[in-house]
């Protein structure tokens, strides 16, 4: 349970780092050329939702109004999907591969992704793991649907794909909570397991030697005692003076 809590902590830190990077990139004008159009459409979504919550429109009217707006909104959000996918792959696949199974979050919590079959992990292992854990493929599939299907047909398929992403997420979380080794669906498919980082044996030996109190040798004590016994005593006899002649 302790390791699982550490994993959630590492996940939160890593997700926060990637999110900050994504939004930092999205602030650049060339990375988000449709920002104003997106904000306009987003305000329309908010307005329609408020009308539905205030019972100003029926559920049928809500669907008729929201589907075309959501269709345009997702098209305008394509740059965000592409940038976020690149950032997630760079951080959770390439970065983690270079640093041998550790991200910044895992390093802080002293965790490490290792192989279950004692073979070195490859880029493919980290990629499979990231695709399942962070649902990286789902936004890409949704983006393809939006750009290949018509407005009237895409919404049902779009909702079903979102449902699949939630199912994968809940199955992964369920496995992590139930299994004794804490492996989720992403770990099972990628042949990985998250373990606590162990110090190398050489470092342990150095630490043990430094912490071990130095014992004073008994031989030195014996030698010092014998030398004390053998050391000659200083003469305390005083010289006798001859009587003075008269």
pLDDT in tens, 40-55: 999 999 999 999 999 9
Question: What pLDDT score does 125 carry?
Answer: 96
Within a domain: 217 = no
Within a domain: 216 = no
> Are 136 and 125 contacting, i.e. CB atoms less than 8 angstroms apart?
no
Q: Which residue ranges in the chain fall short of pLDDT 70?
A: 1, 199-246
At residue 215, the 3 state secondary structure works out as coil
Question: What pLDDT score does 198 carry?
Answer: 78
Within a domain: 13 = yes
**Alpha-helix runs per DSSP H in 77-217:** 78-89, 96-98, 104-108, 123-133, 137-148, 151-178, 185-190, 201-211
Question: What pLDDT score does 239 carry?
Answer: 46
- Dihedral sign (CA 120, 125, 130, 133): negative
Question: What pLDDT score does 211 carry?
Answer: 56
The count of structural domains within the chain is: 1
Within a domain: 222 = no
Within a domain: 131 = yes
Question: What pLDDT score does 106 carry?
Answer: 95
Within a domain: 43 = yes
Provide, rounded to the nearest whole percent, the portion of the chain with pLDDT above 70: 80
pTM of the predicted structure, to 2 decimals: 0.74
Within a domain: 88 = yes
Within a domain: 111 = yes
Q: Which domain holds residue 37?
A: 2-197
């Amino acid at each position: 349970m302790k390791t699982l809590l550490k994993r959630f902590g590492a996940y939160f830190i890593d997700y926060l780092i990637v999110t900050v990077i994504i939004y930092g990139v999205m602030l650049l004008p060339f990375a988000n050329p449709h920002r104003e159009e997106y904000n306009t459409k987003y305000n329309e979504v908010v307005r329609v939702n408020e009308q539905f919550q205030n019972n100003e429109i029926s559920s049928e009217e809500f669907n008729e109004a929201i589907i075309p707006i959501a269709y345009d909104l997702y098209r305008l959000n394509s740059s965000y999907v592409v940038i976020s996918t690149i950032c997630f792959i760079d951080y959770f696949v390439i970065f983690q591969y270079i640093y041998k199974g550790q991200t910044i979050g895992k390093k802080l919590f002293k965790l490490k992704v290792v192989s279950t079959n004692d073979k070195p992990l490859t880029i493919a292992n980290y990629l499979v793991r990231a695709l399942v854990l962070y649902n990286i493929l789902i936004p890409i599939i949704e983006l393809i649907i939006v750009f290949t299907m018509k407005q009237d047909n895409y919404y049902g398929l779009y909702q079903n794909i979102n449902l699949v992403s939630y199912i994968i997420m809940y199955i992964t979380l369920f496995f992590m909570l139930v299994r004794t080794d804490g492996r989720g669906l992403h770990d099972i498919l990628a042949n990985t397991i998250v373990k606590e980082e162990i110090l190398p044996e050489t470092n342990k030996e150095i630490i043990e030697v430094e912490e071990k109190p130095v014992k004073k040798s008994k031989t030195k004590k014996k030698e010092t005692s014998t030398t004390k016994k053998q050391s000659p005593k200083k003469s305390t006899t005083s010289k006798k003076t001859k009587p003075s002649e008269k």
